[in-house]
Amino acid sequence: MSSSPKIDDTLREAIISKPDVILDDTDVMQALIAANERAMGGNIVDLRGIAMERLETRLDRLEDTHRSVIAAAYENLAGTNQIHRAILRMLDPMEFETFLLDLGGEVAEILRVDALKLVLESVQNDSDPAVQRFGDVLSVAEPGFIDTYLTQGRGGSVRQVTLRSVQSGGTRIYSEKAEWIRSEACLKLDFGAGRLPGLLVLGSEDPHMFRPQQGADLLTFFTGVFERAMRRWLS
């Protein structure tokens, strides 16, 4: 006759007194289920075991989805706060010169971009002293330049917000920073009837910061606020 090894009395009492500890331990439960399957033999189909495996797989998927949803929510909230801070800083200046300087300074830092450039279409060239003084953040281009830049010369419809990866930024936009830019957000600006359009370009060295599949709701809102601020200055 053979006898099963007897479990230690102390361990047995601990298990009986706190069975939840065993039930809550995934590794222990899996080991018990595996031992039960070996005891039944290979020719017996354990429907309960199969069902448990499927439930565990579904639970893992639910946990992954839950973590993804929470991460997306935090990222969305952080992005919203970032845009709000940038807008408040942009609305602070009482003079246009300060407004322009802040764009390339604190506003760019809040948005965490490596380059920020405002392009205005005009029949004048960028030899104007005012344009040269703010050349780091402001440039003037000939009429039609913005649509050509946004469509990369291929024509077609132009969206208000264009997000894309680039091999290198346009020299006309980024000057000496062009070779470092790997993604950009292009915000087309409407200054109202009778005025040529403008373009606000946010450039990043991170190729994944701006991608076509990203949502553009926050940047669309930022564009609307920026347009209204510029209309005030241009008037």
Alpha carbon 184 to its chain centroid, in Å, reads 13
Check if the beta carbon of residue 138 is closer than 8 Å to that of residue 100. Answer: yes
Q: Which pair of structure tokens corresponds to residue 112?
A: 């965490």
Confidence band, pLDDT 50/70/90 cuts, at residue 204: very high
**Is beta strand 115-121 parallel, antiparallel or unpaired with respect to 138-141?**
parallel
Would you give the end-to-end CA distance of the chain in angstroms? 102
pLDDT confidence of residue 1: 44
Burial of 230 (0-12, 13-18, 19+ CB in 10 A): buried
Domain CATH code at residue 107: 3.30.450
pLDDT confidence of residue 147: 93
In a domain, 15, yes or no: no
In a domain, 198, yes or no: yes
Interval 163-202: pLDDT, tens: 999 886 678 888 888 889 999 999 999 998 889 999 999 9
In a domain, 214, yes or no: yes
Most confident of 42-56, 64-78, 141-155: 141-155
In a domain, 188, yes or no: yes
In a domain, 11, yes or no: no
Domain residue limits at 153: 94-234
Look at 169 and 147; give whichever has higher pLDDT. Answer: 147
Interval 7-56: pLDDT, tens: 788 878 887 888 777 777 777 777 777 776 666 655 555 556 666 777 77
What total of structural domains would you count in the chain?
1
Q: Which pair of structure tokens corresponds to residue 7?
A: 């479990």
Check if the beta carbon of residue 220 is closer than 8 Å to that of residue 188. Answer: no
Look at 114 and 12; give whichever has higher pLDDT. Answer: 114
Range with the poorest average pLDDT among 71-75, 79-83, 155-159, 211-215: 71-75
User: Element (H or E) spanning 25, and its range?
Assistant: none
| Cα–Cα distance, 153 to 128 (Å, whole number) | 27
Burial of 17 (0-12, 13-18, 19+ CB in 10 A): exposed
In a domain, 169, yes or no: yes
Checking if the pLDDT of 224 tops 90, the result is yes
Closest C-alpha among 93, 81, 86 to residue 202: 86
In a domain, 133, yes or no: yes
